[in-house]
Amino acid sequence: MLKCRTVWRKLAPLAKCSSTLCRQNVRRTGLNNGRTPVCVPAARMSTGPVGGGGDNLKYALLVGAVSAGGLLYAVVTMKSDQRRYKERMEELSTRPQKTSITEQTQSEPPAVPEDQPAAAPSIEETSSPAEAEAPKEETAPEVTDTPPVVDSTPVSLKLPSHAPYLLIGGGTASFAAARSIRARDPGAKVLIVTDEPDLPYMRPPLSKELWFSDDPAVTETLRFKQWNGKERSIYFQPPSFYIRPEDLEGAENGGVAVLNNRKVVYMDVRGNKVKLDDDTEISYDKCLIATGGIPRNLQVIERAGEDVMKKTTLFRKIEDFKSLDKVSRNVKSVTIIGGGFLGSELACALGRRSTESGLEVIQMFPEKGNMGKVLPEYLSNWTTEKVKTEGVKVLTEALVKSVNCKDDKLEIRLKDGRVVTTDHIVAAVGLEPNVDLAKSAGLEVDSDFGGYRVNAELQARSNIWVAGDAACFYDIRLGRRRVEHHDHAVVSGRLAGENMTGASKPYWHQSMFWSDLGPDVGYEAIGIVDSSLPTVGVFAKATAKDTPKAATEKSGTGIRSESETEDTAVSPVASDTPSPAAEHKDDFGKGVIFYLRDKVVVGIILWNVFNRMPIARKIIKDGEEHADLNEVAKLFNIHED
């Protein structure tokens, strides 16, 4: 009723004006034609002849136009009134809520709400450790030493509730996927969730170059010199590369945000959302699982008690490197259990330090020689002697029976009766893929190799991908596999990122891995390298150019897979230099070791032979039988100076 009255008040003057004009017109017509019959004006109004009838027609048209205009004005006015009425009602309904929020903010002290964890840090507090450890030289100019202003607002209110691309895990595979997503979708919003306090970093230097640094503050700067003398940071990118998680949703051009010190504990696949360890829920459009692995430990150490565990390091993260570096400077003896890649690298690194500090370094493993599960026996024995020259006491065929803490020392008793007394233990006995989310997400775990089973496109579900150590994929040449190396993390993460943006590419890459026993001896491997397989080795005399140091000088990077994975093998030209007969001499300077299965090469190790991985990759991809592997070895030009 109020609306109708308002409209009528606006239209009443127009209606009165129209009726007045009509009455005046009729009177005027009667006066001008008083002597004519009364019916004439009616006839003139209907026929419209020249004279007073034309004026009537004009007045009629004017009345019609005014009526139409009044109707249009009424409709527009009613719609405008309705809009203002809704806005007013919304304002009145929200006013009490705003008032209560303001009063609560002004009255309550800045305490943490009961439903939030008391120790939950703010985003600025979370990211500050990584920023402090990040290299200063690569930091953007706008980053200063002034501490960031910490907002007292609870973290759960600042985190994005939705991430178009959610990456679980903050390692190499996750970072490679983030860069790949942004390359194909420049406006993409990517959120990385990691339980580590650091920004994404590369792991290989933790057991290689960092130990050979002359900088006493290397544990703080995390910068190292490569074998070629060039310096770089362990972090993939400085803090200025990333945006804050709370700014992700409103970022106009997208970006990559890292949420540190948070762990995904539950995954709702149907609802496309995850739950963090602080009960925060984040929804996603597409998700990558790149949770990596967890270092294994010996059961005898786990059962030994808390005192033994305090003196044991499971080497995997930056904090493990810092801890072991500190321990090695304050104890007299360190024992490394494990003869694989990690154990042998750490043994050589600590052995080199022992010559200066007098540290006793012991390495023990159940095999007959270092890397006995990978290298043929003759080369494994040679490697063991090489490790000994680095100042390491090597105990072969050593099976740990028990570990006890006695007089603040660790007593390791072997099954053959030998007893080793040491101050600290480093357990380097392998990696267990992290599949904690498999149960809640309903994802399949491979019973033979471990890890999430994925298809050729690294998909576990229609909008869920897996990359890195946690992915168990099908290799079209070598069957189902799971790989735990840096190059695989880079390439699988990159491919997963491409497929998350619609590429639909299969994973056909043969990833490589490498290990350096100091700056003078190193090897690169590809495919299945298992010492239980038949092998054929072709060796030659090494030169000064055949070392990891020389290889990095040529490639310009210490992380050799960064350059190798970009290369494509062309048709190699074999060397014309005649190759000597394959002999297992005492000094294996450089060479190629072929691993065979059903007379087909399934794995290759390049021993002190570098920048030839595309050729090895092509040989495995071809899958052909070779009558004379000495001729195949010529493709690597190992006999050239």
Per-residue pLDDT for 329 more than 50?
A: yes
Across the range 323-329, mean pLDDT stands at 95
**Confidence at residue 368, expressed as pLDDT on a 0 to 100 scale:** 94
What are phi and psi for residue 435, nearest 5 degrees? -120, 35
Contacts of 577 (CB under 8 A, 6+ apart): 634, 639, 640
**Confidence at residue 209, expressed as pLDDT on a 0 to 100 scale:** 87
Q: Which of 327, 403, 386 is nearest to 359 (CA)?
A: 327
- In angstroms, the CA 286 to CA 166 distance is 6
Q: Which of 393, 390, 394 is nearest to 352 (CA)?
A: 390
- The pLDDT confidence band at residue 541, using thresholds 50, 70 and 90, is confident
**Between these two residues, 637 and 362, which has the higher pLDDT value?**
362
CB 300 within 8 A of CB 309: no
Structure tokens, 91: 């304002």
**Confidence at residue 355, expressed as pLDDT on a 0 to 100 scale:** 78
Please list the helix, strand and coil fractions of the chain in percent, rounded to the nearest 5, in that order: 40, 20, 40
Across the range 95-119, mean pLDDT stands at 42
CB 428 within 8 A of CB 365: no
Per-residue pLDDT for 395 more than 90?
A: yes
Indicate whether 241 and 329 sit together in one domain.
Answer: no
Per-residue pLDDT for 80 more than 50?
A: yes
Which of 159-168, 526-535, 538-547 has the weakest average pLDDT?
538-547
User: 430, 447, 468: which is the final residue of a domain?
Assistant: 430
Indicate whether 466 and 523 sit together in one domain.
Answer: no
Contacts of 342 (CB under 8 A, 6+ apart): 207, 315, 428
Indicate whether 578 and 519 sit together in one domain.
Answer: yes
- In angstroms, the CA 474 to CA 472 distance is 7
Indicate whether 350 and 455 sit together in one domain.
Answer: no
Per-residue pLDDT for 102 more than 50?
A: no
Range of the domain at 472: 162-200+236-292+434-501
Beta strands in 113-175 (DSSP E): 162-168
Q: Strand pairing of 281-289 and 464-466? A: parallel
Per-residue pLDDT for 400 more than 90?
A: yes
**Confidence at residue 75, expressed as pLDDT on a 0 to 100 scale:** 72
User: 475, 501, 527: which is the final residue of a domain?
Assistant: 501
Task: Indicate the helix (H) or strand (E) that contains 18.
Answer: helix 2-32
Specify the number of domains making up the chain: 3
Position of tokens 């233990």? 425
- The pLDDT confidence band at residue 499, using thresholds 50, 70 and 90, is very high
Indicate whether 479 and 531 sit together in one domain.
Answer: no
**Confidence at residue 62, expressed as pLDDT on a 0 to 100 scale:** 77
Query: What does pTM read for this prediction?
Result: 0.71
- In angstroms, the CA 123 to CA 547 distance is 45
**Between these two residues, 82 and 135, which has the higher pLDDT value?**
82
Q: Percent of the chain having pLDDT more than 70?
A: 72
**Confidence at residue 224, expressed as pLDDT on a 0 to 100 scale:** 86
- In angstroms, the CA 262 to CA 260 distance is 5
How many alpha carbons lie under 13 Å from residue 378 in its C-beta half-sphere?
Answer: 13
User: 430, 461, 476: which is the final residue of a domain?
Assistant: 430
**Confidence at residue 90, expressed as pLDDT on a 0 to 100 scale:** 64
**Between these two residues, 50 and 216, which has the higher pLDDT value?**
216
Position of tokens 């205009």? 69
**Confidence at residue 38, expressed as pLDDT on a 0 to 100 scale:** 43
**Between these two residues, 407 and 554, which has the higher pLDDT value?**
407
**Confidence at residue 179, expressed as pLDDT on a 0 to 100 scale:** 97
Indicate whether 247 and 358 sit together in one domain.
Answer: no
What are phi and psi for residue 542, nearest 5 degrees? -85, 155
In-domain check, residue 103: no
**Confidence at residue 139, expressed as pLDDT on a 0 to 100 scale:** 34
- The pLDDT confidence band at residue 126, using thresholds 50, 70 and 90, is very low
Across the beta sheet with 312-314, what order do the strands follow?
A: 312-314, 424-427, 333-337, 360-364, 392-395
What are phi and psi for residue 545, nearest 5 degrees? -80, -10
**Between these two residues, 109 and 10, which has the higher pLDDT value?**
10
What are phi and psi for residue 364, nearest 5 degrees? -135, 145
**Confidence at residue 122, expressed as pLDDT on a 0 to 100 scale:** 36
Indicate whether 274 and 343 sit together in one domain.
Answer: no
Per-residue pLDDT for 250 more than 50?
A: yes
- The pLDDT confidence band at residue 570, using thresholds 50, 70 and 90, is very low
Q: What is the CATH number of the domain that holds 470?
A: 3.50.50.60
**Confidence at residue 12, expressed as pLDDT on a 0 to 100 scale:** 59
Indicate whether 518 and 603 sit together in one domain.
Answer: yes
Burial code of 66-91, b = ≥16 C-beta within 10 A, e = fewer? beeebeeebeeeeeeeeeeeeeeeee
CB 165 within 8 A of CB 179: no
Per-residue pLDDT for 319 more than 90?
A: yes
